[in-house]
Structure 1
Amino acid sequence: MSTSPDLIAELPELARAIKAWGLELGFADVRIADVDLAHLEAGLQAWLDAGCHGEMDYMASHGMKRARPAELVPGTVRAIVARMDYLPHSRADDWRAQERRRHEDPDAAVVSVYARGRDYHKVLRNRLQSLAERIQGAIGPFGYRAFTDSAPVMELPLAEKAGLGWRGKHTLLLSRSAGSTFFIGEILVDIPLPVDPPTGRHCGGCSACIDACPTGAILGPGRLDARRCISYLTIELKGSIPEEFRPLIGNRIYGCDDCQVVCPWNKFAQRAQIADFDERNGLGEGDLVTLFGWEEEEFNRRMEGSPIRRIGHERWLRNLAVGLGNAAVAKRGDEHILAALRARSAHPSELVREHVAWALARHVQ
């Protein structure tokens, strides 16, 4: 946009107003960053060249545009980056201990905490759009585009530059006041707003997240091989889950929170300020046999508005079959589990049949 001298003088006050409006819309923090990410291009290219993105072709399809926001949205000079907490109110004060108990229960179907409520893409995008419209109402038309995990944008580096937190050794963003249980969204704008300083990094010598990763996906501080990550295997991977990883997945049927559960900073995790992220359909307490019994119509109905629906019923059954196979460690030959698996042994999907056969074999070995 054409920035008049009068507007330039008003930019600090506009930045303060934007942050206040963001809080009114349910964001927990709003900050501003420049969009120079050139220093990350070599690392991004090396990560892609090593194939660490697996089947996530969208990570590579836009080339270095991911590190060049001004190429994605011409005219961009700043990113307004917002944080929204998602920890459901149904989680106990010591929610990490609550999650550990779920991991240790062979009957439990563990869904990543972020996915138990409404799809965050819709929630954040709508509120970011409302924030942009509020800005437009104050200053008139300007160039902008709102995103949340929906475009080739390096969101976490922008959030780190803006001072929302720092990249932990697990690559997630960490906040000293909120841990890592939050979503991030941004508005790329053509307004030269004053930027906020970064916070610095505060992981110190801790390696809890690296040590806790069930599949060894965190290769070292800030180095993640997505092909080994349970979130990738249960959400992004479309085909068969490699057998070497199936026993390591345990009872995690959609995503994985292990690196967050062990992180000391998550004792400061904040409850969601809005009801959208309340747990739905009992996903915080579900069991493997019950969820495996959902037919496609029930899955689609219950998962309406949930991020889980995008994997579809076939992959839902695939993931649950792996969990039921792993229950054999503690409950070998359990008749309820065997009956559930046998009921799906002739499923029309070859993908489901393969994982059911593997699970049954685990129970009769």
Structure 2
Amino acid sequence: MKILYLLWECCGNSEMIQAMRVAGHDVAALQTSQDGLLSPEIADKVKKAAGENGCDIVYGFNYFPHVAEAAKDLGIGYYAWVYDNPCVQLYSYTVTYPTNHIFVFDSDTYLKFHSEGINTIDFLPMAADPDRVEQLCREARPGYEADISFVGSLYNERHDFYHRMIDKGLPDRTYGYIRGIIEAQKHIYGMDLSEHLLTDEILEDLHAALPLGPSAGSVITTRTLFSQYVIDRQVTVEERHHILTALGAVFGERYRVDLYTHDASAAFAGVTNHGPADQFREAPLIFNRSRIDLNISLRSIVNGIPLRCFEIMGAGGFLLTSYAGDMLRFFNDGEHFVSFESTDDMLGKCAYYLEHEDEREAIARAGLAAIRENHTYYHRVLEMFD
């Protein structure tokens, strides 16, 4: 099969292209960008490139409605593997096009669309490339060793939606209601409370302070926008800050606790902030050389396994992750990875596995073996095009 590959700056490109070629497919790349994929002009570029290369399908990470339009006009399949959650582009009427083959990694997202009768979206977990990481680790210089590491965003950019809304002002009752949802959500995994608890009256107050609404052609609701882009994001901000503060306080004097994040100015006592890590060249080394690799999922991910978890396990790292229901569909807690359901639970498990090296290393080895057996990009290519 001849595949037109939408090549833009995102994770997984080299791994996916190699897997496609190993599976016997021809790949022609269309170089673009995220902004380019969001532009209407991409439709003509896709049509031209697909025609010139005789392509049977179009493939790309995440979903872009203008690409779906082009594929429909050409009568060829558009395969989109979505690794962002939320992904606002999914809430487009174009997702119903019969030429679409869209894959999401959160079973909760899949079930939401499936319950609305949309059969062009399927569930497909993310993947890893342990062979590439193994070679990288062999060739790389020493460094990145740590006892506990966290690689990820703190989502504390200035003028984020939540603080823009708060700064504008909310009625006391509405502010208290929102804070109640946020505080409750910190203690509950596997359910998005705000989707169920944001009433029409509360939404009116939120919208008055922050006029957030769907763009042209989108069918996303105001409730979903405020839930996923405002409330869930703020829960993640506060949870990650709380966990990093606790890690520094409990382990900072005795152990090396490392943070890699875009905000190089973020400071937590007992935690060393190294600034951002290159996701392709540095992050795998961090995962491989840290004794404990922490994943704290973005709260708009209800059950899904974030790409970060696959990357950690695929690097031979020991994964300690916040609860994700889909993990239990493919892996065993305590055998391939370890989960936590609260900050105290996380601290206790960090302490235990820092003191029980043999158990920690056995879990890391089992996690890597499970990835090699069933969860590489090659496996996903076979599943996707089956």
Confirm or deny a common fold (TM above 0.5): no
TM-score (norm 2): 0.23
Structure having greater relative contact order (Cα 8 Å, sep ≥ 6): 1
TM-score by length of 1: 0.24
